[in-house]
Structure 1
Amino acid sequence: MKSQEVRSKFLDFYKTKGHKIVASAPMVIKDDPTLMFTNAGMNQFKEFFLGNTISKNKRVADTQKCLRVSGKHNDLEEVGRDTYHHTMFEMLGNWSFGDYFKKEAIQWAWELLTEVYGLDKGSLYVSVFEGSKDADKLEMDKEAYDLWKAIVPEDKIIMGNKKDNFWEMGDQGPCGPCSEIHIDIRSKEEKAKVSGASLVNQDHPQVVEIWNLVFMQYNRKANGELENLPEKHVDTGMGFERLCMALQGVKSNYDTDVFMPLIREIETITNQRYGKNEEIDISIRVIADHVRAVAFSIADGQLPSNTGAGYVIRRILRRAVRYGFTFLGAKKPFIHRLVKVLSRNMGEAFPEIKEQYQLIENVIKEEEHSFLNTLEQGLVLLDSVIKSTNGNVVDGQKAFELYDTYGFPIDLTALILEEKGYQLDENGFNDALEAQKKRSRTASEISKDDWTILVNDPVEEFIGYDTLEASVKLVKYRKVTSKKDGEQYQMVFNITPFYPEGGGQVGDKGYLEASNGDVVYIIDTKRENNEIVHFTQNLPKDFSMVLRAVVDKRQRQRTESNHTATHLLHQALREILGTHVEQKGSAVHSKYLRFDFSHFSKLTTEELRDVESFVNARIEGQLPLEENRNVPVKEALAQGAMALFGEKYGDAVRTVRFGQSIELCGGTHVKNTGDIWHFKITSEGAVASGIRRIEAITSDAVKEFYFKNNRALFEIKDLLNNTQDPVKAVESLQEENIKLKKQVEVLLRDKTKNLKGDLMNEVSEVNGIQFLAKKVDLDAAGIKDLSFEMGSNKDNLFLLFATDQGGKALLSCYISKELVASKNLNAGTIVRELGKYIQGGGGGQPFFATAGGKNPAGIAEALEKAKDYIS
């Protein structure tokens, strides 16, 4: 059975059982601060389990893109080494929100697996929660056991402990017992020797869990206690890739038609063969898996970067590049070439991968180029580390610096060291790594109390499109403590005019005023699991009071100007550059806006001027806001509304129109484009391959911009003796400056020649090496020229020159290439070590390197110590 049919049969089956089939949520999470990525099918439904929102559909089914590479669910290091772990995977799931429970969930799961898919009943095992004797004192799930006993023989039912058969969302939140379904795909001979029951949950590659049926009936409180949920829910998740393995009669997920097209393409590109060598097989599996994770993340709007979710994506891609580089001999980018195959295989189920194909390919190719360059630099740096090592054990701290500062993989370091007859101080590396992780954990630690419920009002209404103040009632609150922000409080109201951070727009600020005059300041507003959460430093003194909630009007107005300008900017870019332009991200603050978009080249001055003119023409046109808050999503798209990749839209959406610009958007906007006053681009540049970024300002920020520029112009004219033509006066100064620079260059060359003769006489012989360490009055370029000129006239030369320019110290080390080879000297290593005397650092090539520092007083000692390297 082909994978496409496996997927469609699942969805069709649950459709017949009254389930609404919904689209997969984006893999990159936007409105849940507890998660970076969707790591389980239930993530997009958390608000229903938590009771924050009532689902319109009591029964739902889907196939969900998931990513598990960090936190509690971290499968990254297992990926490639076994046949069934993945970073990105699909999870087929069906959910009941207070509707059916264990009976239907169990019976339908069995029906689908055995009657629809036709799996061998004798190869299936089920597990049931056995209960726990810890503080929870949970009883065995007898209901599930009895339901299974009516379907399968008792010797097929395995009792599972809390680790395996009690599912929890996290340290807090909904949870409950679960029943797992496992399949034994071993041969008849293997099954006859060892019972499959004994291999369940033992990490056997051919006795694997394929489906987990979670029965959510408890809520885990902050103090660890369990309480019953008001309603019972069902949350199931079946591994699509593992199911395909079982149905296609193969022994590995990677042998299914989900992965084989990618594997065959990797074989073709790298001229390697899968199935012949374990090291090569692991590498091919890693690459086939990782390209999916990276491609789908980019399609969902997350580009590789150095922070947050972007760093995780970059790390996954670099792991793939590293395996190709080390084991497949791939010294040039090739992983981007797999995107075409991926798009062909998965584009029907996930059209975003097909529609974003060109962007994904460009971004991956750019990242490959960058990291391969890093690997080359790392090899040079590692070579210098080896040369400076006494004995055959390389310091773990130095290896960690290579890993942390330059991104050089530690396993590649260990491999190269082994080939060269060295060992890695693994304990030293692990200590340095753990110290860094501890610093990171400490900085991000956060603890949340349970919500204190004051009013039973599960649906919070946002009224901030129509008003900036309202009388509100406090529904619930909790204390939140973090290393970064200290002690804060989060509050939820029955209604709120405060806009929560989302869609690139910052959250509102403002205050709460009680009838007795007490004021509580709202310092931020965010959305969490479909609730609007208000952040404060303190709580109202009387919870029973009606509070007047007031949004900071000036900040909101400035933010609305910038948000509306992003819509007009989007329209302008598509009109001027072409319809290939699509929004890839935005940040809308009160002081500025940032807009990322797909485009292949730098915008010219004329294009930037045209974009500004286009937007300002719409501002001058005073276009009114046309808003519709409840449009069927298909109707909105048919009207030409722009939708953003990576955003999750419901059945009904809000559209925002200004003239010909129409977008799906939940943000706040000006009532008329004339309120923006003016639009000014402040910068344009690249973010990644095929992605450009414009930063711009509007409204008060533009007024301030022109005021500063005008003031600067008057100051310049004053410096130029109040000339009427400052441009011409500056051009004249530039021409004069060029002439003077040429004259200075001639004088410096003469000075260097004269100095060279004097210094050649000062060179002394030490242990057969021609040596000189001296402070000179030259700039960096002059010292370099002097060093190479002296080196061309004298063999076996070791020079260390120092200079003090502008209160900063510079060391330059030159070593003849014959000395580098015969004496194992390295200028880069030497200046790095001598740099500590001038409180700085540096590096370079083995024969010439420089170091800069902030302590010129240390020059004399650095020059004195230079002789130690040849003594």
Structure 2
Amino acid sequence: MTSQQIRKQFLDFFESKGHLIVPSAPIVLKDDPTLMFNNSGMAQFKEYFLGNAIPKSTRIADTQKCLRVSGKHNDLEDVGFDTYHHTMFEMLGNWSFGDYFKKEAINWAWEFLTEVLKLDKDRLYVSVFEGNPSENVPFDQEAFDIWKQYVPEDRIILGNKKDNFWEMGDQGPCGPCSEIHIDLRTDAERAAVSGRSLVNADHPQVVEIWNNVFMEFNRKADGSLEKLPAQHVDTGMGFERLCMALQGKTSNYDTDVFTPLIEKVEQITGLKYTSDDIKNISEEQNKINIAIRVVVDHIRAVAFAIADGQLPSNTGAGYVIRRILRRAIRYGFTFLNTKEPFINKLVEVLANQMGEFFPEIKSQQQLVTNVIREEEASFLRTLDQGLQLLDKVVAETSGKEISGAKAFELYDTFGFPIDLTSLILREKGYELDEAGFTAAMQEQKNRSRAASEVSTEDWNVLIPGNIETFVGYDKTENEVKITRIRKVDSKKDGILYQIVLDNTPFYPEGGGQVGDKGKLFSPNETIDILDTKKENNLILHFAKQLPENLNASFVAKVNTELRTTTSKNHSATHLMHLALRNILGTHVEQKGSLVNPNYLRFDFSHFSKVSDEELRKVEASVNAQIEAQLQLIEHRNIPIQQALDKGAMALFGEKYGDNVRMIEFGESKELCGGIHVKNTAEIWHFKIISEGAVAAGIRRIEAITGDAVKEFYQNQESTLAEIKEMLKNPQDILKSVTSLQDDNAKLKKQIEQLLKEKVDGLKNALVADFQEINGIDFLAKQVNLSMSSTKDLTQLLGNAKPNSFVVLASIEDGLPNIHCYISKELVATKGLNANVVIKELGQYIDGNGGGQPFFASGKGKKVDGIKEALEKAVEFVK
């Protein structure tokens, strides 16, 4: 069977067992601060397991895009070295929310694998939880007894907590699990060594393919376990490994999940991938194989993340995506000899291969290709710059060991990979101080960990079973009761309390719009609400303190001034989106936004800079829609297909339910959960402040509305008045400014000529001051020039003598600078190095610098040190 057929077989099977088939959630998570990415099939269903929402069906099945770059068995730096771990993978899953449990889950797993897919029963092993007395969790006798109906007892393995107890995180739903493993070795290998001994031993051909998790417990903050009110089933089957087993392969990369991508890499690079056992191939071929595996694995993760709305960047989830892509680029650069962008060419193959089940990769194909191509080009330039910087580090190093701190600086500041640094150094005959690099890396990790440390207590549930309702579309204040509270202590924000209400008018951060602020009132006290966010379907209200009486009735009141200005910006975002599509083309799609009380930020797909004329047209279009006084038409809780049929725009990377909210202002129609004005006239006016690039094919506009526009124009008027006053109130201010610019240009030319004459005069005067020391023409002086002129004079004097060694110093803006020129003949014959000289002399002026062996410069802070620095210079030639 092809991979597409295998995927369909799974979904068809569980549909026949009464499961609702749902699409994969985006790989990038928006409403779960505990996770950056969907890292398991169950992540999109957490709110159901936690009891914060009611599932649309008690039985669900799907195939979920997952991304893992750290954790059990899967550190990013290890992917590619084996044949069965990946960054992005598909997880086939079936779910029961308080419906069936162990008996049905195990029965159907065995039926699907052995009767539908016809896997050899003699190659399958299963595991059950052995129990953990210290946590009062018994041996999973029930699962063991069920499995005995299908497999001999010697094929049932008792697993410990590490292998057979699944947890969502440090806190939350958890329970014992039962895994199914398959032995793909040859008959001879199986006869020689029992597969039982190789289960969970990281053997490449004895692998886990299915895990049945039986969620029975809730892990509390103190580590203790309590029984969940309902029992759930959470299963996950590794799609790529299943394909390996069914297609008779011993490597995931030999299946048709990866072979089309591998063939494209072979075509581009002219290199061949071999699927032979790694013991039978050369070291060079093994490196090529690893590099190709890295590239074809990583393109999947990066492409789907971008298609789901996560662009590469320098922070958060964007940094993870950039890091994955850069790892693929450097493996291509080092081992596949690719010096030009090539990974972007794999996107078309991926889109053709997976577009049927995941339409987002097809519809976003051009954008994904553009972003990856630009990221490749940028990082290849970084690699080229890094090679030059590494050469400089080597030139400045005495001995054969390169500082680990310097290598870390290359890695941290310039993104130059440490393994590439190590490889190049070995080729040059140098060693890397790996301990020093590791220490610098650990120090940074410790700082980062300390800054982000968070301690979260268990929920204190005051009103059990309540599912909070949002009433903020109609009300800005309402009577409420507190249903649960939780204390959170973080290094960043200190102690905060998260409060959940039975209903709330507070809008939680989402869809680019910031969360509401406001207050909780009772007859005796007032609690400030600092922010509102959503987590696993709970609306969390953040406060610095709790009410004294948690059971009292409160009035929740939103800060309407902040909400009103925010809603103006949000509605203007919709109007601008429409204007951009009308003026630039329908290829424009929203790729991110921020809407707060002060301004709006809108990221969108577009292939080039938006011209000033186009920006003026966008502004005019939005303001025309404002002046048209378009009334808000709101459709709440309508079927998503009905909204799409009405022309509503859905954003890629957003997770929509079966029923949605649709917002209309004239021709503008979008799916949106945010807060909006009732009429566009409330926005008053719209003004674009800036436009620029965010990434390849992605532009960003920042704009303001309402009172912020009034303030903007008032500031412009004030600035213009000040300029007029400075220019003595001319009748024609533009003519006056142009005249001023002309005068300034003439004066600059005169100053440049005067400085040139001064430098030439000083050069002629100082040539006579050279001293001959050991066959070297030496000069060390302080001059009264700017830093750039001193640099020019140093080089002129250096060229005046064949064996020159010149050191000049000067003071500019109260700070000392120093320059050194050494003739190339002296660099070659005497081993002198201007870099070394500047670093040594820089100590006396409390500064540093650098350059090349024949010329270097430095700046400092200590003017008094110039004299001693010049006196010390002579020691280099004596």
State the TM bucket, normalised to the shorter chain. over 0.9
Query: Kindly tell me: are residues 772 and 502 of structure 1, through their superposed partners in 2, closer, same or farther at Cα, counting changes over 3 Å?
Result: farther
Name the residue aligned to 2:136. Answer: 137
Further displaced range: 234-243 or 822-831? 822-831
Contact 1:75 1:86 in 2 (8 A): no
Return closer, same or farther for 1:182/1:704 CA change in 2, 3 Å cut-off: same
Matches within 5 A, 1:714-753: 714-753=721-760
In structure 2, what is the equivalent of residue 600 of structure 1? 607
Aligned 8 A contact 2:832 2:853 in 1: yes
Inter-partner Cα distance in structure 2 for 1:397 and 1:198: 44
Matches within 5 A, 1:536-555: 536-555=543-562
| Native 8 Å contact 1:555 1:590 kept in 2 | yes
Provide closer, same or farther for how the CA distance between residues 682 and 131 of structure 1 changes in structure 2, counting only shifts above 3 A: same
Q: CA 1:726–1:262 in structure 2 vs 1: closer, same or farther (change >3 Å)?
A: same
> Within 2, Cα distance between the matches of 1:243 and 1:254?
12
Quickly say closer, same or farther: Cα 1:724–1:79, change in 2 above 3 A. Answer: same
Q: CA deviation at 1:123?
A: 0.6
Q: Does 1:124 align with 2:124?
A: yes
Partners in 2 of 1:721 and 1:199 — Cα distance? 89
Q: Tell me the equivalent position of 1:236.
A: 235
In the other structure, the counterpart of 1:288 is 296
Instruction: Work out the CA distance in 1 between the residues paired with 2:775 and 2:566.
Output: 71
Letter in 2 for 1:528: E
Question: Hey, what does 1:378 align to over in structure 2?
Answer: 386
> How far did 1:842 drift?
4.6
| Correspondence for 1:665 | 672
Letter in 2 for 1:715: E
Establish whether residue 109 from structure 1 lines up as the match of residue 109 from structure 2: yes
Within the candidate set 289, 293, 314, 1:306 is matched to: 314
**Counterpart residue identity of residue 227, structure 2:** N
When structure 1 is superposed on structure 2, of 376-385 and 798-807 the one drifting more is 798-807
How far apart are 1:864 and its partner, in Å? 4.6
Q: Give the AA of the match of 2:65.
A: K
Contact 1:448–1:478 (8 Å) recurs in 2: yes
Change (3 A) 1:180 1:767: farther
Alpha-carbon distance between aligned partners in 2 of 1:441 and 1:259, rounded to the nearest angstrom = 36
Indicate whether 1:56 and 2:64 are aligned: no
How far residue 870 of structure 1 moved from its aligned partner, in angstroms, is 5.1
Spell out, residue by residue over 1:46-82, the C-alpha distance to the aligned partner (whole angstroms, 9 max, x if none).
0001111111211111111111014567431220000
After superposition, residues 605-620 of structure 1 pair within 5 angstroms as 605-620=612-627
Partner of 2:253 in structure 1?
254
User: What do the CA deviations read for 1:352-376 (whole angstroms, capped 9, x no partner)?
Assistant: 1111111111111111111111112
Matching residue of 1:173: 172
Provide closer, same or farther for how the CA distance between residues 735 and 540 of structure 1 changes in structure 2, counting only shifts above 3 A.
same
Distance (whole Å) between structure 2 residues aligned to residue 672 and residue 84 of structure 1: 56
Looking at structure 2, the residues matched to 621 and 88 of structure 1 have their Cα atoms a distance apart, in angstroms, of: 48
| Offset from partner CA, 1:397-447 (integer Å, 9 cap, x none) | 121111111111111111112112221111111111111100100000000
Compared CA separation, residues 505 and 825, structure 1 to 2 (3 A): farther
Q: Give the C-alpha shift of residue 327 in structure 1.
A: 1.2
Structure 2 matches for 1:144-223, cutoff 5 A? 144-223=143-222
3-state SS, counterpart of residue 81 of structure 1: coil
1:796: how far off? 3.8
With normalisation by structure 2, the TM-score equals 0.96
User: Are the aligned partners of 2:457 and 2:488 in contact in 1 as well (CA < 8 Å)?
Assistant: yes
- Is the CA contact (8 Å cut-off) linking 1:51 and 1:458 kept in structure 2? no
Relative distance call for 1:718 and 1:108 in structure 2 (3 A) is same
Question: Could you say what secondary structure the match of 1:803 adopts?
Answer: strand
Pick one of 572, 585, 591 that aligns with 2:592: 585
Residue in structure 1 matched with residue 427 of structure 2 by the alignment: 419
Q: 1:402 matched to which residue of 2?
A: 410
Q: The residue matched to 1:69 in structure 2 has which SS?
A: coil
Report if the CA contact (8 A) 2:602-2:701 is conserved. yes
Letter in 1 for 2:236: G
- For 1:43, the aligned partner's letter is A
Q: CA deviation at 1:851?
A: 3.6
Q: Cα distance 1:255–1:501, how it changes in 2: closer, same or farther (>3 A)?
A: same
* Number of the residue aligned with 1:36: 36
Deviation at 1:331, TM superposition (A): 1.6
Q: d(CA) in 1 for partners of 2:323 and 2:209?
A: 28
Partner Cα separation in structure 2 for residue 630 and residue 283 of structure 1: 49
Aligned to 1:662, the other structure's residue is in SS state strand
After TM superposition, give the deviation of residue 565 of structure 1 in Å: 0.8
TM-score with structure 1 setting the length = 0.97
Among 704, 710, 714, the residue aligned to 1:707: 714
Please list the CA deviations of residues 474-519 of structure 1 after superposition, one character each: whole Å capped at 9, or x if unmatched.
0000110001111111000000111111111111111111112x11
> In the TM superposition, what whole-angstrom CA distance separates every residue of 1:729-779 from its partner, at most 9, and x where no partner exists?
111111111111111111111112112212333333445444434333333
- Would the aligned equivalents of 1:803 and 1:811 in 2 still touch at CA under 8 Å? yes
Amino acid at match of 1:221: K
Q: Note the alpha carbon deviations across 1:779-827, whole angstroms, 9 max, x for none.
A: 3443343344334433343434333322344444434344444455554
Report if the CA contact (8 A) 1:469-1:548 is conserved. Answer: yes
Cα gap change, 1:861 to 1:650, in 2 (>3 Å):
farther
Cα contact 1:828–1:846 (8 A) shared by 2: yes
Q: Distance in 1 between matches of 2:93 and 2:756?
A: 76
SS of 2:133 mapped into structure 1:
coil
Aligned partners of 1:203, 1:746: CA distance in 2, in Å? 74
Unpaired segments of 5 or more residues in structure 2?
275-280
Change (3 A) 1:675 1:183: same
User: How far apart are the structure 1 equivalents of 2:839 and 2:76?
Assistant: 36
Displacement of 1:852: 4.0
Q: CA deviation at 1:322?
A: 0.9
Contact kept? 2:787, 2:811, Cα under 8 Å: no
- Shift of the 732–302 alpha-carbon distance from structure 1 to 2, 3 Å rule, reads same
Shift of 1:832: 5.6
Aligned: 1:315 with 2:323: yes
Give the conservation status (yes or no) of the 8 Å contact 2:74–2:86: no
> Quick check: 2:797–2:806 contact (8 Å CA) kept in 1?
no
Consecutive unaligned residues of structure 1, counting only runs of 5 or more, are: none
Between 1:718-727 and 1:695-704, the stretch displaced more is: 718-727
Q: Is the 8 A contact 2:787 2:812 kept in 1?
A: no
The 1:112–1:701 alpha-carbon spacing in structure 2 relative to 1, beyond 3 Å, is same
Cα deviation, 1:820-849, whole Å, max 9, x if unaligned, reads 444555545654665555555554444444
Contact 2:402/2:431 (8 A) holds in 1: yes
Structure 1 residue 865 displacement after superposition? 4.9
- Which residue pairs with 1:21 in the alignment? 21
Distance, in Å, in 1 between the alignment partners of 2:387 and 2:754 is: 41
- Asked if the contact 1:31/1:528 (under 8 Å) is kept, the reply is yes
Q: CA RMSD in A?
A: 1.8
Matched, 1:507 2:506: no
Q: 2: distance between equivalents of 1:835 and 1:550?
A: 62
Aligned 8 A contact 2:68 2:74 in 1: yes
Quote the residue 1:390 is aligned against. Answer: 398
1:634 to 638, 641, 646: 641
Query: Aligned with 2:692: secondary structure?
Result: strand
Look up the SS of the partner of 2:132 in the other structure.
coil
SS at match of 2:724: helix
- Which has the larger displacement, 5-14 or 807-816? 807-816
Post-superposition shift, 1:854?
4.8
Give the match for residue 463 of structure 1: 471
1:529 pairs with 2:519:
no
CA distance in 1, matches of 2:176, 2:699: 48
| 2: CA distance, partners of 1:584 / 1:641 | 16
Q: Residues of 2 paired with 1:866 and 1:527: CA distance?
A: 65
Q: How far apart in 2 are the matches of 1:91 and 1:834?
A: 62
